[in-house]
Each structure stands twice: as C-alpha cells, then as structure tokens.
Amino acid sequence: MNKKLWINVVMAILVAGLFLTVSCAKKTVVSDASTIEDQAQAEAQAAAEAEAQRKAEAERIRQQELEAQAAGEKAVEQARQQAAKTRFLHQNIHFAFDSAELSSEAKELVKEKAQWLKQNQKVSVTIEGHCDERGTTEYNLALGERRANAVQNYLQDLGIGGFRLDTVSYGEERPLDPGQTEAAYAKNRRAQFVLK
Amino acid sequence: MFLHYVNTKLLKNIHKSRSSAGYPLSPCVAAFRDRMSVPPLPRSWHILLVLATVFFLWHPAQGWAKSYDTINISNPFLHKTPVAVTEFKALTGKDAETEIGTTALTILNEGLEFTGYLKLVNPRAFLSSPAQTGIQLGQIHFRDWTGIGAELLITGGVEIDGDQVQLKLRLFDTFNTKLLKGKIYTGPPGQVRRMIHLFCAEVSYALTGTWGVFNSKLSFISTVNGNKEVFVSDFDGHNPKQVTHHKSISLSPAWSSDGQWLAYVSYAGGKPDIYIKHLAENRGAIVNREGMNISPAWMPGQAKLAAAMSFSGNQQIYLLTRNGEIITKITDSWGINVSPVFSPDGKKIAFVSNRSGTPQIYITDLNTQEVRRVTFQGNYNTSPAWSPDGNKMAYVGIEKNQIDIYMINLASGPGMPVQLTRDQKDNEDPSWSPDGNLIVFTSNREGNSSALYVMTAAGTDQRRLLHMKGRQTQPGWSGPMTIED
C-alpha cells in the first residue's frame, strides 16, 4: 500500500516536473524565434555586402578592362612608333646610276623622314651615302658624299636643324646586296639613316 | 726572193721601232741587230708571210703600206725576243747545288716574263745542254741556239761553299756570239730570289737601258677578316706584308717616288681621311679636315701630295705638304674632282671630274692652270694612270656596262682610245710598272672575287699575279727603288 503511494507521489512530482520542463521548453522556443530574426537580418546584410562586393568586382574588372585597353592602345602606339622608326631607318632613299639628284619619289621619302625627325626632336642622325660597285672607288666616294649631302640639304630645307644631321660617304664599300645584278645595284645606290 | 726581202725588212723595222719606242738597245745588241742577215723567226712566221704575200698579190691596189700597219710591228710586246734559259750547272756536282739550281731557274723564268718583251724558248727544243757541256763563252755552241730561233741565251751555274751560295749568270747574244753580261752573286740560300732578280735587272739594262721592274714593289688592298687593309709585296706579288691594322676600311695606297712613304685613305676615324706613313720609321701625318679627304697621289721626287678634299662643299683637288698642310687649290669647278695623278715630270695633274655631267679625265697644267679634257668616248672614264714616259694614259672606262681598261695617246692629241682588256668581266685600277712595259690591274674574271693581274702595256699576256686569301684591289706599282748589292 505504501509502496503504491510512493509511486504516485513520484509520478506526481514527475508530472509536475514535466510541466515545468514543458514551460521551460516553451521559453526556449521563444528565444529561438528572435535568433531567426537576427539571421534574416544578417542574411540581408550579407547579401548587400555580396552585392557591393560584386559591384566592386565589376568595377574592378571594368577598371582593369579600361587599363588593359589603355595598355593595348599604348602598345599599339608603341608598335606604331617602332614601325615608324624601323621605316625611318630601313626605307632608303634611292638614286639613279652616277646621280646624286633626288627624284620626286626620293623627295617624298625625305619629307616622311623630316616628319619623323620633327616627331622625335631629341634624335640626331648620320646620313650615309652609298653607291653600287660599278665605277671607281674614289669617284664613288665622292658620289656617295654628294648623295648624303643632297638628302641633308633637302631635310634642312624642310626645317630640320643642321646640327642634328651628319653625313658620311661609304662609296661602294658597304653594299646591302653583294649581287651583281641591276636589282642589287639599284638597292645599293642609296642614302641611309643611322641614329647617333 | 720577195719573201726574204719582206722578212729582213720586217725584222729591221721591229728593231728600229723597238729602239724608237723608248727601248734603247745596248751598242752591242744594236750592232748585232743591224748586221743580222738570217732572220730568226719561228716557222709559223714564214707561213704567215707566205699568206701575206699571196694576199698582197691578190690585192695589189691596197698598197702594202696600209696592210703593213695592221701588223703592229712597233709593238715589242707582240714581237718578243726569244730567249733560251738553260738548266743551272751544279759547279761542284753537289745535289744541293742541283736543287738550288732548279729553284733559281724557276725564279729566273718567271722574272724574265716581267720584262714584257722576252719570250722563253721551250726547253724541249734545245739541241745542247750547257749544264753538262759548260756555261762559259768558249763552251757554248751558238749554232745550237740560233738554229732554234733563240736570239738570246742565259746560262747559270751554282756553287755551294759552306753556308754561302754562289750564282754565276751569263747573258749571251747568240747571233753575235757575244757575252752581253756576266755576273756572280754570293749570299745565303735565302737570298737566291734576290740574286736572280738582280740579274734580271742586269738583263733588262743590257737590252733596253732601263733596270726594269725588278727593284720595284707593289702596294694593294686586301681584305683581312672582312676589313680592307693595305699590303705591300715584291713586284711579282711575292712576300705580301700587311702594312695597316686599322680593322676598318683602308683604301687607295700611293707610293712616294722614293718608295719610303705610303699615303692611303682609312675610315679608322669614322670617315675617310688620308694617312701619310713612313714605311720604316714611326712617323707621318693624318689629314682629317671636315668632310672627306681622299685619293692621295705623290708629286714625283717631292715631299708633296695632291689629294681630293670636300671641306669647302665641293670635292676639289689640293696640293699638300707631307704634313698635310695646303699649299694650293688645284681645281675650282662645280661637282666632283677626284683621283689626281701627276705627270712623270711633275708639271701636270690628270684627274677625274664630272663638270661636264659625266666623269671624264682632264689634265691641268700646274703653271698655266690651263685645263684640257682628255677622254671623249663614253659616259664614264675614271682612274687615270700616267705612263712613266709621259706619253700615254691608261684609264678605266664603262662601255655598255662593261668595265675595262683603255689607253689613250697623249702626244698625238685626242685620238681613238685603245681597249686593253675585253670580255673578261670587270677590269679596273690600272697602274704602270716603273719601266712602262707592264700594267698591273684588278679583275674579277676568276670567280666573283677581285684579284691582281698583270699585262703588257699593249694588253697582251694577261695573267694573275698572286694567290692569297680575301679580295685584292687597287694595286699601285712603286717607282724604281735603290738596288742594294
């Protein structure tokens, strides 16, 4: 009999305890709801941040693209300048046999040289006069000098300062093409620019 | 009968013309020639003369004075004097003597070619051998030599005594059975070349009254590792020696008349300047005025040079001291004036100018300053080279894209130039031997590389001078240098 009572008491306590526990649990649930609210806020914040970051990244990429474009343009410009320089140094001015006279084509080319020299004010050049191998060494030295001088004089007429222009004749000593054909001779009869 | 008449007449003319053409014969040779009755002409000549006779008979109207002109008998280079050169006798029978004798014979044969007027008789035609029978006057059977057409005979003997070699050399006049010259040379074996050339000079002197080329030298340009440098060699191209080491471009070497100085052009300073250099001593000068300083030429017998300089704007010719100071301005024209060369008497200068529009050769008188044009044929005449007798000018002309050497007679006024080289690619840079018999020049006829060649002043006997690496150009023949015995 006593034992049954004891059990009931214990049960009662347990139930009461259960109730308590339940109320406690209820409390916990309330507190959970507030956390969810915080999380949503955080999520929104994160999303905003991500958005900002994305925007920044896009901006960065845009900047980068702009820079790349600028760099590209610069490279193109540099390449253009290099090409102009190469052309200046390797497009030679050609002459007829036993002549130091500038043809109209030669004059056009010298004008182009003058343009380049105006764009590159710091540059000084040596104008070399050359001949083909036919004829006499001495006469060709003289002829080469007259070719170089003809180019120098025309450049000065076009407004290039004489102090930037030097001349030297190599006569027939430095052919570009050692061949003994008319094409080789024509190539070798030239005034050529060399940077100082 | 007629044939014989032509023969004798022709020979007399050959000899007369040879002496009148500036080759004075020694009295004994001249005497022998005048008394000569048996014409020593080779068989081929008889055939030619028979043909010529037939020709005259068929064309009596032509007159034979004209046909006679076409056989250029005034030219000693076309009618050379036949000379027999025998093997050297080993005088004490030593093997070493035979060996040196063989070397000496080769040098002698090659040397005699440089007279331009002697022709070696083929040794296979020889009827006797003085190397065995004896090389002295009493031991020579002259009929053996006249019989094969040899007008001259040279015998040699070698004797070795210790470290000394003795060469005994004799020149005989076979028709007159006379010793013209006998010489004994002693020295170390290394001097055999020199001894033979001294004898060649004696032969030249005995026959023509000039020492020939045997005491002269050549200057020229050769490439060394791609750079042009100045070289000097013996007259025959032997013993080439590099004179400059600029490792740049060196050009246009020019001998002073005593052979002690060379003037040349070099780019060592970055542009063409003139370097004046004493060959044995370390002294000289550099002419490096603004513009270019090129084409030096020495005044005969003087310490002065002519050169082209462009500091005034135009290339003009100036007379300079050996230190490079200007004495006077020689040309004063528009355009190019280059390549001065003095007349042998030093009173005139020939040069190249394009004052008329194309490069042509002019002569200016240094006293009167009168200028006359010399070349009129073609549009490109350069590289004047004045003959040592002052009467002729060799030069380079370009005709139909062919670069060749021409010669013009100055004494007879403007006449037709004679073409000396033909159909042998490019031929340039003529320079006369001091005796006026030969011309050295540049040609690219073998392969595409320029090399030095020599020919007689008539353009005959063109042959290569030396074989060395690189390209050789711009030969310059020195004047006669002192013979040291």
B177 with B260, same domain: the answer is no
A2 lies in a domain? no
CA pair distance B86, B21, nearest whole angstrom: 30
> What does the DSSP assignment read for B47-85?
HHHHHHHHHHHH-GGG-HHHHHHHS-TT-TTTSPEEEEE
**Domain limit, last residue, from B27, B47, B70:** B70
- Domain with B322, as residue range(s), is 217-477
Q: How far is A69 from chain B (nearest CA, A)?
A: 46
A165 with A83, same domain: the answer is no
| Those residues with Cβ within 8 angstroms of residue B368's Cβ, 6 or more apart along the chain or in another chain | none
- Domain with A84, as residue range(s), is 41-90
Residue B304 is classified by DSSP as: E
Q: How far is A195 from chain B (nearest CA, A)?
A: 14
Q: What is the pLDDT of residue A10?
A: 72
Residues of chain B in contact with residue A146, where contact means CB-CB under 8 angstroms, are 336
Q: Is B375 on the interface with A (CB under 8 A)?
A: no
Q: Is B295 on the interface with A (CB under 8 A)?
A: yes
Return the axis-axis angle of helices A104-119 and A137-157, rounded to nearest 10°: 60
Q: What is the pLDDT of residue B9?
A: 34
B484 lies in a domain? no
B188 with B256, same domain: the answer is no
Q: Is A168 helix (H, G, I), strand (E, B) or coil?
A: strand
B residues 408-447 closer than 8 Å to A (CB): 426, 428-429
**Domain limit, last residue, from B70, B101, B120:** B70
CA pair distance B465, B236, nearest whole angstrom: 6
**Lowest mean per-residue pLDDT among A39-43, B206-210, B459-463:** A39-43
B55 with B91, same domain: the answer is no
A19 lies in a domain? no
B351 vs A16, which has greater pLDDT? Answer: B351
A127 with A154, same domain: the answer is yes
Q: Using one digit for the tens of pLDDT, what is the confidence trace for B273-329?
A: 999 999 999 999 999 999 999 999 999 999 999 999 999 999 999 999 999 999 999
pLDDT at position B15 over 50: no
> What does the DSSP assignment read for B400-458?
TTEEEEEEEESTT-S-PPEE---SSS-EEEEEE-TTSSEEEEEE--STTS-EEEEEETT
Q: Is B475 helix (H, G, I), strand (E, B) or coil?
A: strand
B164 with B275, same domain: the answer is no
**Lowest mean per-residue pLDDT among B39-53, B330-344, B447-461, B463-477:** B39-53
**Domain limit, last residue, from B185, B208, B231:** B208
* Confidence band for B461, pLDDT divided at 50, 70 and 90: very high
* Confidence band for B31, pLDDT divided at 50, 70 and 90: very low
Query: Does B272 sit within 8 Å of A98, measured CB to CB?
Result: no
B131 with B60, same domain: the answer is no
Residues of chain B in contact with residue A173, where contact means CB-CB under 8 angstroms, are 228, 249, 251
Assess contact for B242 and B469: CB atoms under 8 A. Answer: no
Q: Report the domain count for chain B.
A: 3
Q: Is B397 helix (H, G, I), strand (E, B) or coil?
A: strand
CB pairs under 8 A between A and B: 73
A20 lies in a domain? no
B338 with B253, same domain: the answer is yes
Compute the C-alpha angle A75/A81/A83, nearest 5°: 100
Q: Using one digit for the tens of pLDDT, what is the confidence trace for A17-67?
A: 665 555 554 445 555 656 667 778 888 888 898 999 999 999 999 999 999
A140 with A74, same domain: the answer is no
Percent of chain B with pLDDT over 70: 83
B12 lies in a domain? yes
B residues 250-269 closer than 8 Å to A (CB): 251-252, 265
Q: What are residue A168's phi and psi, to 5 degrees?
A: -150, 140
CA pair distance B59, B46, nearest whole angstrom: 20
**Lowest mean per-residue pLDDT among B78-92, B207-221, B422-436, B471-485:** B471-485
> What does the DSSP assignment read for B113-132?
HTTSSEEEPPGGG-S--HHH
B265 with B334, same domain: the answer is yes
A137 lies in a domain? yes
B377 with B237, same domain: the answer is yes
A residues 69-128 closer than 8 Å to B (CB): 98
* Overall average pLDDT of the B79-95 stretch: 94
Query: Does A136 sit within 8 Å of B382, measured CB to CB?
Result: yes
A101 lies in a domain? yes
B75 lies in a domain? no
B482 lies in a domain? no
Task: Note whether ipTM > 0.85 here.
Answer: no
A113 with A190, same domain: the answer is yes
What CATH number is attached to the domain comprising B231?
2.120.10.30
The helices-and-strands tally (H runs, E runs) of chain B is: 8, 29
Q: What is the pLDDT of residue A19?
A: 59
Q: Is B479 helix (H, G, I), strand (E, B) or coil?
A: coil
CA pair distance B89, B108, nearest whole angstrom: 14
Query: Does B272 sit within 8 Å of A141, measured CB to CB?
Result: yes
CA pair distance B473, B443, nearest whole angstrom: 8
Measured CA to CA in angstroms, residue B284 lies from B261, B265, B272, B482 at distances of 9, 13, 17, 22
A142 lies in a domain? yes
* Overall average pLDDT of the A178-194 stretch: 96
B53 with B94, same domain: the answer is no
**Residue tagged 């000396």 (tokens):** B420
Q: Is B218 on the interface with A (CB under 8 A)?
A: no
> What does the DSSP assignment read for B141-164?
-HHHHHTTT-SEEEEEEEEEETTE
pLDDT at position B57 over 60: no
| Radius of gyration, alpha carbons of chain A | 45
A85 with A99, same domain: the answer is no
B148 with B110, same domain: the answer is yes
**Residue tagged 């513009």 (tokens):** B291
A96 lies in a domain? yes
A142 with A187, same domain: the answer is yes
* Overall average pLDDT of the A116-121 stretch: 96
In whole numbers, what is the pLDDT of chain B averaged over residues?
86
A173 to chain B: closest CA residue:
B249
B319 with B430, same domain: the answer is yes
A83 with A97, same domain: the answer is no
Q: Using one digit for the tens of pLDDT, what is the confidence trace for B127-182?
A: 999 988 889 888 999 999 999 999 999 999 999 999 999 999 999 999 999 999 99
A85 with A97, same domain: the answer is no
Compute the C-alpha angle B52/B58/B62, nearest 5°: 80
Residues of chain B in contact with residue A134, where contact means CB-CB under 8 angstroms, are 398, 401, 403, 426
A181 with A103, same domain: the answer is yes
A49 with A120, same domain: the answer is no
* Overall average pLDDT of the A165-189 stretch: 96
A58 with A118, same domain: the answer is no
**Residue tagged 């008349």 (tokens):** B257
B485 lies in a domain? no
A153 to chain B: closest CA residue:
B313
Percent of chain B with pLDDT over 90: 77
Q: Report the domain count for chain A.
A: 2
A122 with A73, same domain: the answer is no
B293 with B339, same domain: the answer is yes
The three-state DSSP-derived secondary structure of A68-133 is: HHHHHHHHHHHHHHHHHHHHHHHCCEECCCCCCCCCHHHHHHHHHHHHHHHHCCCCCEEEEEECCC
Residues of chain A in contact with residue B473, where contact means CB-CB under 8 angstroms, are 137
Compute the C-alpha angle B379/B380/B384, nearest 5°: 135
